[in-house]
Structure 1
Amino acid sequence: MKKKKNKLNYFSTNPDFKPLDDFNEDELEIIQPNAQNLEVCIDKHRAGKIAVIIKKYVGPSSEIKDLAKKLKKECGVGGSVKNNEIIIQGNVREKIMEILEREGYNFKRVGG
């Protein structure tokens, strides 16, 4: 049996309104690194392990995945991308900040 796709009815007075069903990620603009305002913070709540989280990235998911791959490779650690946040395993915040600075990203250190 074929699965039914949930279609929601939308009402808007905005003539340019696009429902999320019609959202295309390719329409997102690629923002230059110097226009990004990233937050680099440490999270100690993941099963007692330290992780560095990079928040507030704006852009397509392919770009954030490429940045995460580059950071993980240069730091020699693992990590993932979830909810537009890059999660890097280990206490490598200083090294990540050096890499982001070299790549031209604007960022600020948040917490500890």
Structure 2
Amino acid sequence: MDLQDQLKNLFPDHIVSEEENLEETSDLWMQDEPIICKYEKRKGKPQTILEGYTGADEDFKKLAKEIKKLLSVGGSFKDEKIIIQGDYRDKIMAFLKEKGFKVKRVGG
């Protein structure tokens, strides 16, 4: 018995709408040019920086939130750049490629 069946047993009168049935789909704008993924040390601390996204700022902010949640790290979105605390280039590049983005590694 999966979760859907259990919910139907608990709430037999509830009608499932189509909006509740839809899974999250990636509504981010895909671009032709690669996103630049680079590593820098600022004030002695390692940071991964993503730049070069040409879509809407809101989409880039959503992407930043997904990356921070995936890695369980802090970061920010400033000046059309995503700044992630720590050196996570490989994991971020794998995640972006899985999403369908082209990624270019710069430095090191």
Asked if Structure 1 and Structure 2 have the same fold, meaning a TM-score greater than 0.5 normalized by the shorter chain, the answer is: yes
Considering only aligned residues, what root-mean-square deviation do their CA atoms show, in Å? 1.6
- For 1:38, which of 28, 31, 35 is the aligned residue? 35
Q: Which residue of 1 aligns with 2:56?
A: 60
Number of corresponding residues: 82
Structure 1: gaps spanning 5 or more residues: 1-29
**Residue 90 of structure 2 is aligned to residue 94 of structure 1:** yes
Structure 2: gaps spanning 5 or more residues: 1-26
Runs of 4+ with deviation above 6 angstroms? none
Q: 1:42 to 1:48 in 2, by over 3 A?
A: same
Q: Percent identity?
A: 41
Deviations for 1:86-112, whole angstroms, at most 9, x for unmatched residues? 000001111101100110001110000
Q: 1:91 to 1:79 in 2, by over 3 A?
A: same
Distance 2:53 2:69 in 1: 19
**TM, length-normalised to structure 1:** 0.68
**Residue 90 of structure 2 is aligned to residue 82 of structure 1:** no
Distance 1:43 1:101 in 2: 21
**TM, length-normalised to structure 2:** 0.71
